[in-house]
Structure 1
Amino acid sequence: MNPPSMEKTTVEQISAPPMGEPAAVDVEYAWQGNNRVVLLENGEAYFPRVFEAMRQARTEILLETFIVFEDKVGNELQQVLIEAARRGVRVTVSFDGFGCGELSTGYLAALNEAGVHIQIFDPAPKHLGFRTNWFRRLHRKIVVVDGTIAFLGGINFSADHLADFGPEAKQDYSVEVQGPAVADIHHFALLQSGRPARAKYWWQRRRQRRSELAFSDHDGQVRLVYRDNGDHRTDIEEVYRQVLRSAQRRVVIANAYFFPGYRLLREIRNAARRGVEVRLILQGQPDMLVAKLAARMTYDYLLKSGVQIHEYCERPLHGKVALVDEDWCTVGSSNLDPLSLSMNLEANVLIRDRAFNRELFERLEDLSANHCKAMSPDKAPRGRVWHMTVGFLVFHFLRHFPAWAGWLPAHKPRLKAFIHPAGSDHHEPL
């Protein structure tokens, strides 16, 4: 279905008054067993599965995403959501005001007229032709259908996640989850959308910080972790640091935007120093040059400690995945850079499943062996006085950035409900 108008949206003119900040979720979700988890690599695997699940939806679709483009993927998403809403499925979508800021009024209005509940996270007008709402983005990519199947990862609804897009097509990963863990993802997505969710009992509300060191005798265990600007500012980073300290044999991290803080860099270095095989797969053909330049600032520090670094050079790497030993994995939306670790709203799933770990390892092994360039200490940017000086300053900036980020003057991002400019009343106040 083509949108009725290609006029560009000005969200602040066609939205209801602010509904407030996304709901705080003061709970750390526990490990849930007996789940089925499927790795979905790139849009070729992800889009057919998520669209089919939406087409089979009977009661509810919850969707959060950073980017939707009006291309063949975005238009198919629009059509699938319209069809679901028209057959009586309650559809609630949350679009980021920066990543989805170029969607036309017609695209959004067609969804709204069909009964889709649309909300925009932190919309803002352009100033002198440029967007200014760069920071504190809704960066999560979550879909939950009927409370029984969930999708979570790094893939946006855009055609640049498909190989036929060309040299700029992204390499990325997501997961499909079915089982008890979906209830936690559903609960989280409901609260974030402003919808009421069943209250947790007091023993469920209590913070449930479970050790990542604990060995699991059962596969199919999944746990949701997230980052917000409230009580869970460092949860994802802390999980990474904890599993790195516990690693015994191997660590593989594939991450698009790699510029972590000092403490995480130190845990990566320390794991390699004690004999763990640590491999990083990073961008060699970046979609943003600054990402490659920033990552390379860390190479000398890591390579001289025995960390293996491989740059993926075939197309832009957009993945946010990692595995430790033969049991533990994570897939999600969080990069290992200051924006994801200190500002954006992010969500990952942690997975304890040997078969899933083995499959992810084999995919990343093929990627690093056949499609990457291995970096060596002599190739690392080093040796010049100016570079050593810049490296020193950047390194210590990384060390202190998370604390400094909290001092930055910042508005509190808001959710705004989209209402058809003609006055459609399909939206119910949340």
Structure 2
Amino acid sequence: MKFQWKEGNRADLLINGSEYFPAVFDAIRAARREILIETFIIFNDEVGQALKAALIDAASRGVRIEVTVDGYGTADLDGDYIAELAAAGVHMHSYDPQPRRLGVRTNLFRRLHRKIVVVDGELAFISGINYGWDHLPEKYAMGKQDYGVRVRGPIVGDIRRAARALLVEHQAVQDLPDSQGETAPAGDAPMRLAIRDNYRHRTDIEDHYVAAIRAARRRLLIANAYFFPSYRLWHELRTAARRGVDVILILQGRPDMPWARVLSSSLYSYLLKDGIRIYEYKERPLHAKIAIADEEWATVGSSNLDPLSLSLNLEANLFIRDAELNRQLHAHLTGLIDDSCHLITPEVAERGRWWRAPLMFMSYHFLRHFPVSMGWQPGHTPRLEPLTDKPPGKQQALDDADKEGYESERNG
């Protein structure tokens, strides 16, 4: 399945769960025929409960609903939650669930990391946002800063085809129509969907990033949660900076997982030498997977710029040519830089380099080759299983005090 640029679309920027969740839930409540959802994580909390209520309401109206979650990210969702949705007629699927070993989840690699919603083949959402309280930064101190887009137009057909293909190829459904007709134009923005899988689309998202970096003439601004790029992305960013492009990275300064910052910061000295500016976002955990180039190009989606996203996980990003969306993202991100970021100087980057340099060398080259070695040892074929037979039991809820200091164990 190869996706092309589609004309005639409109994208609305949604910042954080406070904008994203109401928009998604309103769309679910307005659905008439079909809802397709893919996500890495659902928590049984205030957000998960709101999602469940909206889905049950839609199912009661006869809407067909297919929800696919990741077997690692949503391993702790309790049976009662699942049973309520199943009883209402919601079809739930788990991507590559695996048994625990000594109580520990071992199925870390090749995860379903996409965050997609398609409603009636007419409206779609793509983001990096999971369904949980930790995407409400306005309410919780450790809530994550993140982004999504609501899109209308012909591009929705491609997003639906990608969501349908996952279900059909894993034989989770047999009767989901291939097409609901061409979606009418809704704007003037060209868009292209890129997915990453372990079969035919191994480098599609990375290829689009590389093309945008090579084409940039004035500015590149990347905000990414887990930044440990491939050789060629690193090379292209440094080359762009050397030819005079203003290359800016916004990375985690208050990470939900400290190792992520350790790995990213090990590259700082090399990036700064080529004139790349690096800012660390300090206000809260940064979960962004967005970028802009010059005055028109932008991308929003689920893919980090690290080995898991670029080489192992199933991901989905939209690539958008829209001057207004680019302007909104630029204004927002420069506002973050002014208000909530710390500039990394060469002096800061060099601190502790005497012990970090050997660690950086070993970890960088190991992680760059690790996905290849994983490809040599597939172990098993990922599968979709119905999520209806989990034993009842309550997922342990986090109280507000816990949420203030919560550190996620999932690279979501």
Tell me whether the two structures share a fold, i.e. TM-score over 0.5. Answer: yes
Asked whether 1:163 is paired with 2:137, we answer yes
SS at match of 2:7: coil
Contact 1:85-1:114 at 8 Å conserved across structures:
yes
- What runs of 5+ residues in structure 2 fail to find an aligned partner? 181-186, 392-412
Letter in 2 for 1:281: I
Q: CA offset at residue 123 of structure 1?
A: 1.2
Q: In 2 relative to 1, CA 421–318 (structure 1 residues): closer, same or farther, beyond 3 Å?
A: closer
Q: CA offset at residue 164 of structure 1?
A: 4.5
- What runs of 5+ residues in structure 1 fail to find an aligned partner? 1-26, 201-217, 423-430
The aligned runs of 1:130-145 (5 Å cut-off) are 130-145=104-119
Q: CA offset at residue 418 of structure 1?
A: 2.4
The aligned runs of 1:54-133 (5 Å cut-off) are 54-133=28-107
Q: CA offset at residue 124 of structure 1?
A: 1.8
Q: CA offset at residue 126 of structure 1?
A: 2.0
Contact 1:219-1:354 at 8 Å conserved across structures:
no
- Counterpart residue number, 2:274: 305
| In structure 2, C-alpha distance between the alignment counterparts of 1:197 and 1:265, rounded to whole Å | 42
- Counterpart residue number, 1:367: 336
Letter in 1 for 2:143: A
SS at match of 1:380: helix
| In structure 1, C-alpha distance between the alignment counterparts of 2:310 and 2:374, rounded to whole Å | 10
- Counterpart residue number, 1:206: none
C-alpha root-mean-square deviation of aligned residues, in Å?
1.8
Letter in 1 for 2:178: R
With normalisation by structure 2, the TM-score equals 0.89
The aligned runs of 1:217-366 (5 Å cut-off) are 219-366=188-335
SS at match of 1:349: strand
Q: In 2 relative to 1, CA 128–305 (structure 1 residues): closer, same or farther, beyond 3 Å?
A: same
- Counterpart residue number, 2:27: 53
Q: CA offset at residue 383 of structure 1?
A: 6.7
| In structure 2, C-alpha distance between the alignment counterparts of 1:266 and 1:169, rounded to whole Å | 33
348, 362, 367: which one aligns with 1:379: 348
- Counterpart residue number, 1:35: 9
SS at match of 1:223: strand
SS at match of 2:361: helix
Q: CA offset at residue 219 of structure 1?
A: 4.4
- Identity fraction in percent: 53
Contact 2:164-2:178 at 8 Å conserved across structures:
no
Letter in 2 for 1:223: R
- Counterpart residue number, 2:178: 198
Q: CA offset at residue 33 of structure 1?
A: 1.0
| In structure 1, C-alpha distance between the alignment counterparts of 2:179 and 2:77, rounded to whole Å | 35
Q: Deviations over 1:296-328 (max 9, x none)?
A: 111111011000000001100001000100010
User: May I ask how many residue pairs the two structures share in their alignment?
Assistant: 379
